[in-house]
Structure 1
Amino acid sequence: MLGVQRRSYGNQAAVNIKAAELLGTIHDALEAKNYRGIDLERLMVRLLFCLFADDTGIFGNKDDFLYLIEERTDADGGNVGRVLNELFEVLDTHADQRVTGMDPEFGKFPYVNGALFTGALRTAVFDAQMRDDLIAAAKFDWGKVSPAIFGSLFQSVMDKGERRKKGAHYTTEPNIMKVIGPLFLDELCSELDRLKAGRDGGKRPALLAFQERLGSLDFLDPACGCGNFLVVTYRELRAMEQEVLEAVYDVNSPMLYDVEALSVVRLAQFHGIELEEFPAHIAEVAMWMTEHLANIELGRTFGKVFADIPLTDSANIVHGDALEIDWDTVLPHERCFAVMGNPPFVGQSYQSPEQRIQMARIIDAKSGKPGSLDFVCAWFIKAGAYIASGPTRIGLVSTNSITQGEQVAQLWPILFERHGLEIAFAHRTFAWGSDARGKAHVHVVIIGLTHRSVQPREKRLFSYDDIDGEPDETVHDALTAYLFDAGSVGNRHMVIAEATRPLSAPKPLRMGSKIVDGGHYIFSPDEKRQFVEDEPASAELFVPLIGSLEFIRGSKRWLLLLQQVSPSTLHTLPKVLERVRAVRDFRAASKKVATQRLAAFPLRFEVNTIPRGAYLVVPEVSSERRAYVPIGWLTPPTVPTNLIQTLQEATKWDFGVVTSAMHMAWLRHMGGRLKSDYRYSIGLVYNTFPWPEASPAQRAQIEALAQAVLDARAEWPASSLADLYDPDTMPANLRKAHAALDLAVDRLYRTKAKGAPFATDRDRVEHLFGLYEALVNPMASEAAKQNKRVARKAARKTGAVS
C-alpha cells in the first residue's frame, strides 16, 4: 500500500566461513615454514581443487584424496609434500602417457588438464599437526561449499596492508545478489515465470528460445578478483536453464536425452580482468567447479551424472590492469550484456603515484588532475565510456563517498553529461561483509547504470533503516546522484557545488584557528605545568585550545598565544622566544610556499580566529553513530582550532536550526566523511543549507526549544558531550528536548497545509534538495513544481494514489 517492499538477501552459510578458516590454517603454517610466494599460492589453489573434486565426483569415488593422505603419508607429516607433488604430476598427465607400474592409489585419479596442475612446485614441508589439519580439511564436506568461497580464501591469506593497498574487499553471495538481482537476474526470473505459466501450445518454443538467450549473454567483471560475481552469475543462469529443461523435457524418461548436450550456457560467456595472477587463477578454478556442480544437478535430473574432464572450456580471465587494458579486447562492448563487480575502493590518501596518474588520465587527460575521487570512480568512468550508447547495463559496488560530499560534483557530471548515463537502480548505504578472517568493514552503495536512451521507466531504490539489516525497496521515476527521489527538482542531474558564501544563512560560519606551528605553541596540561614552572612569567600567555576532540570529550589543551604580546615582554621570556624561533624554523622548512612566507610572521597563525565574544561551535568531525553532531557555545579566551567551525554573535535561533534533524539530515547526505565519521564542511553543508523562513513567534518558539536542549544537557554536568550524545547512553530528557525542537523546525519547512510531516531523513533531504534548486536555479525549480502539480492533477483524474 505504501509502495515499499522489504527485500531479503539471506545470510551466507557458516559452512563457507569454516572452509575458508581450514585452508587459512594450512596456508599460515606453510608460510611460517618459509614456503611462500607463487609456489604457496599455486599449492593452495591445487589443494582447493582436490578438496572440492574429492567430494563432488570429479575424482570418481568419494574420499579418494582423503584416503591417499591418510594411507600414503607418514604420521609425522614428513612425506606429505612429496605425495602431493606426485599426485599433481598424475593429475597433469593423460592416462595413456603415465608410467606403468605406479601405485594404484595414484593411478585411479583422472587427467584434469586446464593447466591447473602444470608445472612443478617446490616440495612443501609438513609436520604432524599440518598433516592433521590437511586431513581435517579433507574430511570436511566441500560439496556444501559454494565456489564463491575462493575469494574469501584469498582474503583470508592476504596481508592486511596489501588488502588496503589494493583496495580488496571480497564479497558474500547475498551482497552479490544485491548487484546482479536488479541488474538483470530479477528481470530474467520474471520472464521465465511468465513463460512457464504460458499456454502449452507456444510454451515449449518460447522456453527453448529463452534458453538460447541465456546462452547468448556475455558478462564482464573488470575487477573480478577471485571471480565471485562470475561464479554466482554462472550458477544462477545454469539454475534458470535447469528450470527450462525440466519444463520442456520429460524428466521421467531421462535416458532419451544426450545429457551433456542439453546445456547451452557456457563458461566462455564469462569474462574478467584481474591485476593479480593468484586470484585470476582462482577465478578460473572457481568457474570450473561451478560448472561441475551444475552438471551434477543436471545429470541427477536426467539420469546421467557426468564430470566434464579433462577441462577444456573455461572462463576468459585476463591477467592485467583493467585501467590500462582496452576492455573491448577482452569482450567487444556490442556483445556485452552487463558490466558488474566490486572494484578496489582505495581512497585518495592511500593511492599510489601510479594510481593517481591513472585517475588523472581517465578523469580528464587534458587537465592531468585526479581530484579527490576514490580509486573506484575510475571503473565507473571507464564503464560509461565502454558501453557507449548501447544497451549494456552496469552494476558496480562503491564506497558511499561517491554519493555524498565533494566527490559527487566531481564524478557525476562525467557520468551524466559526458557518458549520458542514468541511475537504473541503487542500494543506499549499507555495511559490507566478507566471509574471511580480517573481514572488511566498510560502508558501501551499489549503483546500477544504463545509457539514457535505454533507461528503464521505473528506477528501483533499496534503502536501509539498519545498515546491517535488509533493505526496503521503492520505485521512482528518477534518482539523483545522492540516491533519493528526483521528483522534487527540475534537474535530476543537479549536484551540490561547494559555495564560498552562505546561500541563505543569516551569518557566515568561519573556520577556527589554523596554527601551523609544528606543535611548538600547543601544550598538554602536564607540558604547560612544566613550562610555567620553568618560566613563571609565561603563565598569563596561555589560553585554552579546543578542537573537535576536546570539545566533544571535555578534554583540554593549552595554547601559547603571543599575537598581542609586546616585543619588550617577549625579550624577557627566553623559553617563549625559543618556541617562537622553532615555529619560524618549522615554517621556513616547509615545502609549501605559503607556509614559507608565514615564517616571517611567527607570532601569527595561518588562519587567525580569535573570538572576542561567545561563539557557537560546530565540530568538523563527529562519529556517525550519533543522531546529532554535538554543537554548543564557547567563550573567550578559549581559542578554537581549525577542527571547529565557529559562528560568532550566534543566537539560540541559529543553534536551534543548526542542531535540528533537518540540518543533520543535510549533513549526512551532503557532507563528506572521514572514514565513516561525519565531516562538517562550511562550503558543502552550511553555505548550501536552505534556511527556513519564520515569523517572530516561530523564532521565539525555536529559541525556547533550543534553550530546553541546553537545559537538558546542564542536568548532567559530569557528563561530556560524547557521553550525552552516545546513542547507548543519551539521557531521556535530552532525547525528548531534541525531538520537540526537531518537530518545530520541521514545521517551518512543511506545515499541515503544505503536506504530511517528514517521516525520514530521506524525506527531509528530498525537500531540502528542491529548496536548494530554488536558490541556485529558480526557473528549474518552478518547472519542477509545475510538473508535480500536473502529475497530482492527473492522478486525481485517474483515481491513482499520489
Structure 2
Amino acid sequence: MPLSWNEIRARATTFAAEWQGTESEDADAKPFWDAFFDVFGVSRRKVSSFEKRVHKLGTAQGKIDLLWKGTLLIEHKSLGRDLDRAYQQAIDYFPGLKPEELPRYVLVCDFERFELHDLEPDDGVAPVHKFKLSELPQNIHHFAFIAGYRTQRIRESDPINQEAVVAVGQLHDALKRDNYTGQKLEVFLVRLLFCLFADDTGIFQPKDSFHDLIEFHTHTDGSDVGAVLDEMFSTLNEEPSQRQGRLAEHFALFPYVNGKLFEAHFRPPQFDTAMRQQLLTLCAMNWGAISPAIFGAMFQTVIELEAADRRRQLGAHYTSEANILKLLGPLCLDELQAEFEKIKTNQDKLFEFHKKLQTLTFLDPACGCGNFLVIAYRELRKLEFEVLRAAAKFGQRVGSVFGFLQVDVDQFYGIEIEEFPAQIAQVAMWLTDHQMNVMAGVAFGEVITRIPLVKSANIRKGNALEIDWAEFVPPRQLNFIMGNPPFIGKQMQSAEQKAALASVTHGMAGAGVLDFVAGWFVKAGQYISSTPDGFGGIAAKANKGRKNFKDVKFGQGLGDMFAAAAVAEVKQRRAIRCGFVSTNSITQGEQVGVLWAWMLAQGMCIRFAHRTFQWSNDAPGKAAVHCVIVGFGMEPVPAPRLFEYEDIQGLAHEVTAKNINPYLVDAPSVALPNRRAPICKVSPIVFGSMPNDGGGLLLKPDEKAALLAVEPAAAPWLRRFMGADEFINNGTRWCLWLKDCPPQTLTTLKAVRQRLEGVRQHRANSARPTTQALAATPALFGEDRQPQSAYLFIPSVSSEKRQFVPIGFMQPKVVASNAALVVPNATAYEFGVLSSTMHNAWVRYTCGRLKSDFRYSAGIVYNNYPWPQDVSDKLHAAVSTAAQGVLEARAVHQKGKTPASLADLYNPVTMPANLTAAHKALDKAVDAAYGTKGLKTDAERVAFLFTLYQHYTSLLV
C-alpha cells in the first residue's frame, strides 16, 4: 500500500538533508537513487535497473543510468554539469528502446538540481519541473507516479488501448490454437486483465509484483506458468488469515481480492516459451493508462474476431466516450453539475447533495462490456470529488479517511446476454473504482483502496427483453435507464430475436416493422408506466377485507399503508428518466407510427434528443452508422433540449425546444400513421407496375436489339420501362407491354413466346399462391397500375445528399416500375408543391431510409402531407408558373447528344445556377400559398407542417 503524503514529505526532507553536498556521479549515483526511491517506500531494484545497454541512432551504443520501463528514464551527472545536454543524451537513447519500454518521464539530475520532463502531459503541453535538492519536499508531488498515486492519463484514442488488445489477442490466439477454449479461456483472460491492471496501479504492492512473479518465478520454457498462475489466483481468493504459513513469499505478498472474481476454479492453461514471452510483453505494458470505458468492448473483439481481422476491425463496434457523454450529459450529469454550482457555498445543502449522489441508481439493460456504466460511474465520482473539495472549505471532511467517498459501484445495474462481456463489465467497474480512488488519493493526500472488494456492480446475464426489469431493479430504487441497445433491422433479426421482440410488443399493431432496438424503448416504457399490481392488489384486499380483522382500525391502517406505498412507487416510476442511443430508423418512416404511437399513448414524452449524427470513434474500421439519441420519461420538461447537426460528422449545436416530437422536431407530438388515402383533397398516389417476371418481360438495350433482330414485328409491343435509377441517371430499359396484343399476333411472335414461357415457369415455381395464379397470364405484368394519361413520376429511392427529390412528368407510353410512385392526372401545381423545399423538408424528416438514402412512401410521406388549403386562384397560378420555370430550367441542360441527367442537375456541387434560381422562385410561390414568411430551416418548416397536420387531422375525427 502506498505511503501517505505526509510520510513521503517527511522522508523527502530527511533525504535532502542527508545528500546535501554530494558531487561524484561514479561514487554516489547508485546509492543516491536507491535512497530516492525509498522516500516513496518503493524498492528501486523491484521497478528499475541501472546501466541498461542500448543502441543509439546509427552504430553507437550507450548505457542508460536508470530505466524504469514504460515509466521513467534517469540521466545522472556529476555536480555542476550541463543538464540540457544530459536531457538530450537521454532522448538519444529512445531509438534503442522497444515501444513498451519508452518512458513517460525523463529526469536529469546532478545531485543538487532536478529537472523532471513529462513527455505525455494531459493538456498536450510538456512541462519541465525544475527545483533544487533542498526544494524536493515542496515538489515531491511531481513524483506521485513513483508512490503509486498515478493520476490516470486515460484517453479513448490512446494507442495503448489498441496495442494492449492486440497483445492480448496474440496470447488468446496461441491458447486457442492449443485447444484451451470456451469459458475457461474467457475467465482466464478476465482474471489476467485484472492482474495486469492491479500490477500498475497500486492494487498489488510493490509495483510489478505480478510481472516479477512471471519473470523470476517461472521457467523460461513456460512449463510451470499455468501452475504458478493457478496458485496465484487461489491466493487472491483467500484471506491472509486463512493462508498457509508456508505459502511462498512471492505469493503471500498479494492481497485478498474477493468480489468472486477468483472464486471458481478452472484448469489452468499450459504455456510454452513463446506464450510465456507474450505474457511478459503484456506485463511490460503500462496498464495504468488503459481506459476501462472502451477497453472492455475492444477486449471482447479478442474473442469475436479472428486474428487476421482484428487490426482492421478493432474498436469498430464500441461506443466512443464522446457519444456516451452526449447521452449522459442531458440525461443527468448536466443537471447534477448545475445543481452543485448553485449549492456549493451552502454547507447544509452541500451535505444533502452529497447524500443524494449516494442514492442515485443507474440501469443499462444492454450493457455489453459496461462502457456506459463505467463513464457514468466515473463522472459521478468526479462530481463527488468536487463536493468534498467544496466541503473542505468549511473546514470539514464528510466522513473518515476510508468513509468519506460514499458513491460506489453497487449503485449501477446492467443486463447483458453474453457471459464474457458481462464478466468484463464487472471487472471494468472495479478497475474504474480503483482509478477514481487513486485520483482521490492524489487530490486529498490519502491512501484510498477498496481491496478486498466488498461491493460490486450488479451485472446480470440474460436476455433483457425477457427479464423482468422490476424484479431485477425495483423501480422505487431506480433513477436512470440508459444505454446502447443492439441495432438489428427487421430483415436481419434471427428467429429468436423476432420472438423476443414479439414478446415485448405483444398486442401492438404493426409491430412487425420494428427494428430490434425498439424493444428496449417499449420495455423501458412498460417499466416506468406500469401500475405496481402487487402493492395495489394488497391494498385493495386489505381495505375490502378489513371487517375480517378484529381491530378494524388496524385493517384500515394496513390498507392505507399499502395504498400509500403503491402511490409512492407510481410516483417514483414516473420520475425515472431514460435515454438510448439508436439507429435513426426509429424516428423515420413507418416505425414512428408504430413505436411512438404506443409510447405517446403510455404517457411518454421526449425530454432531450440528438438528431441524426454519424457514429464516431477513433478506432480503425469505425462503423459508419447514422444514429440518434432519445431521452424520454413520463415527466415533461419545460424546455426540452434538442441537439442538431449541420454536419453529421461534426459537432452539435443545442436549441431549446417547446416540444420534441417523435421525428425529433420542435413540433406537436404526433406519430404519422400509414394511411391509404391523403389527408388533403389531392390526386391519389400509387406504386408503379410490378412485372414479377423473373426477367422475361424486361430488356436491356442490347437485349431489345437482339430481339428485334430476329423478330422485328415485336417492335410495337416494346415500351420504355422506367425505374428510379433510369429516371435519375438517364438509364434505359424496355419492357414487353402485351396487354392489348391480340392473341393471333402474339402467336406469330416466336421469340416473344419463348420469353413468356420463362415468365410462366418463374411464376409457377413460386412458393406464393398469388404468384402461382399469375402463371395463367404470363403476357401481363403481375401488377398493372400504369396510368392511361400523363402522370407525375416520383422515384422511391433518392440520395440523401440532394436538396430536392427529383420528380417529373411522364407520358403513358412510358411504363413506371414498382421502384417508383406515380400520381395520375397531376398538374403543374402539384409538381410545384412536391418539388418545393417545404415538401422536401417534410420528406427528409418523415420518410424511411434505405441505408441513408431517402425512401419516399405513399402511406407515410405523401398521404400525411399537409398541402396548402384555400389557395387563391392567383397564388395557385403563381405556383404553377414557377413549377413550369423549374421544368424549363432543366430542359436547357437536357438537350444534345449528352443530355444532363437529373443526378447531374440535382447534385449539390453541380446544380446549375438557372435551376437553383428557378427553385428559389418556386419556394417563394409555395411559401406564399401556405401563407408563411421567414421559415429558413428545415426544422422550422417541418414544425410548421406538423402544426398544420395536427389541425387538419383534428377535423377528420
TM range (shorter): 0.7 to 0.9
In the alignment, the residues of structure 2 paired with residue 628 and residue 392 of structure 1 have an alpha-carbon distance, to the nearest angstrom, of 41
Residue 148 of structure 1 aligns to a residue whose secondary structure is helix
Q: 1:322-471 counterparts in 2 under 5 A?
A: 322-365=464-507, 370-388=511-529, 389=570, 390-417=574-601, 419-434=602-617, 436-451=619-634, 454-471=635-652
The 3 A distance-change label for structure 1 pair 681 and 338 is: same
Worse-matched range after superposition: 317-326 or 576-585: 576-585
Q: 1:75-90 counterparts in 2 under 5 A?
A: 87-90=232-235
Shift of 1:396: 1.6
Which one-letter code corresponds to 2:524 in the other structure? A
In the alignment, the residues of structure 1 paired with residue 817 and residue 659 of structure 2 have an alpha-carbon distance, to the nearest angstrom, of 42
In the alignment, the residues of structure 1 paired with residue 171 and residue 810 of structure 2 have an alpha-carbon distance, to the nearest angstrom, of 58
State the TM-score, normalizing by the size of structure 2: 0.72
Runs (5+) with no aligned partner, structure 2:
1-153, 311-315, 530-569
> 2:670 aligns to what?
494
218, 222, 231: which one aligns with 2:361 = 218
Alignment of 1:584 with 2:760, yes or no, is yes
Which one-letter code corresponds to 1:775 in the other structure? Y
> 1:601 aligns to what?
777
Shift of 1:555: 3.0
Bigger CA radius of gyration: 2
- Write the deviation string for residues 447-489 of structure 1: whole angstroms up to 9, x where unpaired: 21221xx322221111111112221212233222221223xxx
Contact 2:645 2:652 in 1 (8 A): yes
Which one-letter code corresponds to 1:603 in the other structure? A
> 1:796 aligns to what?
none
Q: 1:302-321 counterparts in 2 under 5 A?
A: 302-321=444-463
- Write the deviation string for residues 182-232 of structure 1: whole angstroms up to 9, x where unpaired: 111111111111111x3xxxx223212211111111211111111111111
Alignment of 1:231 with 2:374, yes or no, is yes
Residue 395 of structure 1 aligns to a residue whose secondary structure is strand
> 2:745 aligns to what?
569
In the alignment, the residues of structure 2 paired with residue 313 and residue 658 of structure 1 have an alpha-carbon distance, to the nearest angstrom, of 61
The 3 A distance-change label for structure 1 pair 600 and 151 is: farther
In the alignment, the residues of structure 1 paired with residue 718 and residue 176 of structure 2 have an alpha-carbon distance, to the nearest angstrom, of 55
Q: 1:677-756 counterparts in 2 under 5 A?
A: 677-692=853-868, 693=871, 694-712=875-893, 717=898, 719-731=900-912, 734-751=915-932, 755=933
The 3 A distance-change label for structure 1 pair 515 and 310 is: same
> 1:182 aligns to what?
330
Worse-matched range after superposition: 607-616 or 285-294: 607-616
In the alignment, the residues of structure 2 paired with residue 461 and residue 399 of structure 1 have an alpha-carbon distance, to the nearest angstrom, of 17
Residue 482 of structure 1 aligns to a residue whose secondary structure is coil
504, 516, 519: which one aligns with 2:692 = 516
Which one-letter code corresponds to 2:265 in the other structure? G
In the alignment, the residues of structure 1 paired with residue 722 and residue 276 of structure 2 have an alpha-carbon distance, to the nearest angstrom, of 59
Worse-matched range after superposition: 722-731 or 506-515: 722-731
Contact 1:535 1:573 in 2 (8 A): yes
> 2:184 aligns to what?
39
Which one-letter code corresponds to 1:178 in the other structure? K
The 3 A distance-change label for structure 1 pair 715 and 181 is: farther
> 1:284 aligns to what?
426
> 1:262 aligns to what?
404
Contact 2:792 2:826 in 1 (8 A): yes
Contact 1:268 1:316 in 2 (8 A): yes
> 1:795 aligns to what?
none
The 3 A distance-change label for structure 1 pair 501 and 387 is: closer
Shift of 1:438: 4.1
In the alignment, the residues of structure 2 paired with residue 566 and residue 207 of structure 1 have an alpha-carbon distance, to the nearest angstrom, of 91
- Greater relative contact order (Cα < 8 A, sep 6+): 1
In the alignment, the residues of structure 1 paired with residue 918 and residue 283 of structure 2 have an alpha-carbon distance, to the nearest angstrom, of 61
Worse-matched range after superposition: 729-738 or 463-472: 729-738
> 2:804 aligns to what?
628
> 2:295 aligns to what?
150
Shift of 1:402: 1.7
Contact 1:222 1:322 in 2 (8 A): yes
> 1:503 aligns to what?
679
State the TM-score, normalizing by the size of structure 1: 0.85
In the alignment, the residues of structure 1 paired with residue 723 and residue 391 of structure 2 have an alpha-carbon distance, to the nearest angstrom, of 70
In the alignment, the residues of structure 2 paired with residue 392 and residue 584 of structure 1 have an alpha-carbon distance, to the nearest angstrom, of 60
Alignment of 1:482 with 2:663, yes or no, is yes
Shift of 1:270: 0.9
Shift of 1:762: 0.6
Shift of 1:315: 0.7
Which one-letter code corresponds to 1:240 in the other structure? L
- Write the deviation string for residues 686-739 of structure 1: whole angstroms up to 9, x where unpaired: 222223332424432342244224435659945443344344554555445444
Which one-letter code corresponds to 1:446 in the other structure? I
In the alignment, the residues of structure 1 paired with residue 802 and residue 277 of structure 2 have an alpha-carbon distance, to the nearest angstrom, of 49
Which one-letter code corresponds to 1:249 in the other structure? A
- Write the deviation string for residues 484-518 of structure 1: whole angstroms up to 9, x where unpaired: 223xxxxx332222232233364333211111122
Contact 1:709 1:738 in 2 (8 A): no
Residue 660 of structure 2 aligns to a residue whose secondary structure is coil
- Write the deviation string for residues 743-776 of structure 1: whole angstroms up to 9, x where unpaired: 443343345xxx4x22210111111112222322
The 3 A distance-change label for structure 1 pair 458 and 252 is: closer
Which one-letter code corresponds to 2:630 in the other structure? I
- Write the deviation string for residues 587-624 of structure 1: whole angstroms up to 9, x where unpaired: 23333333233232222223213355554321101222
Shift of 1:345: 2.1
Contact 2:297 2:371 in 1 (8 A): no
In the alignment, the residues of structure 2 paired with residue 34 and residue 540 of structure 1 have an alpha-carbon distance, to the nearest angstrom, of 70
Worse-matched range after superposition: 697-706 or 328-337: 697-706
Residue 268 of structure 1 aligns to a residue whose secondary structure is helix
Contact 2:832 2:879 in 1 (8 A): no
- Write the deviation string for residues 150-202 of structure 1: whole angstroms up to 9, x where unpaired: 34315534658999xxxx95321111111121111111111111111x3xxxx
Contact 2:482 2:578 in 1 (8 A): yes
Shift of 1:119: 2.5
Worse-matched range after superposition: 29-38 or 575-584: 29-38
In the alignment, the residues of structure 1 paired with residue 758 and residue 897 of structure 2 have an alpha-carbon distance, to the nearest angstrom, of 42
In the alignment, the residues of structure 2 paired with residue 94 and residue 532 of structure 1 have an alpha-carbon distance, to the nearest angstrom, of 91
In the alignment, the residues of structure 2 paired with residue 77 and residue 675 of structure 1 have an alpha-carbon distance, to the nearest angstrom, of 51
> 2:255 aligns to what?
110
> 2:820 aligns to what?
644
The 3 A distance-change label for structure 1 pair 776 and 75 is: same
- Write the deviation string for residues 337-383 of structure 1: whole angstroms up to 9, x where unpaired: 11111112221111222332333332234x78633111222211221
In the alignment, the residues of structure 2 paired with residue 519 and residue 553 of structure 1 have an alpha-carbon distance, to the nearest angstrom, of 21
Give identity over the alignment, percent: 46
> 1:293 aligns to what?
435
Q: How many residues align?
A: 747
940, 946, 954: which one aligns with 1:769 = 946
Contact 2:294 2:318 in 1 (8 A): no
Which one-letter code corresponds to 2:430 in the other structure? W
Shift of 1:280: 0.8
Contact 1:421 1:449 in 2 (8 A): yes
Runs (5+) with no aligned partner, structure 1:
1-9, 487-491, 781-802
In the alignment, the residues of structure 1 paired with residue 243 and residue 771 of structure 2 have an alpha-carbon distance, to the nearest angstrom, of 74
Residue 256 of structure 2 aligns to a residue whose secondary structure is coil
Contact 1:226 1:279 in 2 (8 A): yes
Which one-letter code corresponds to 2:695 in the other structure? G
The 3 A distance-change label for structure 1 pair 712 and 519 is: closer
- Alignment RMSD, CA only? 3.4
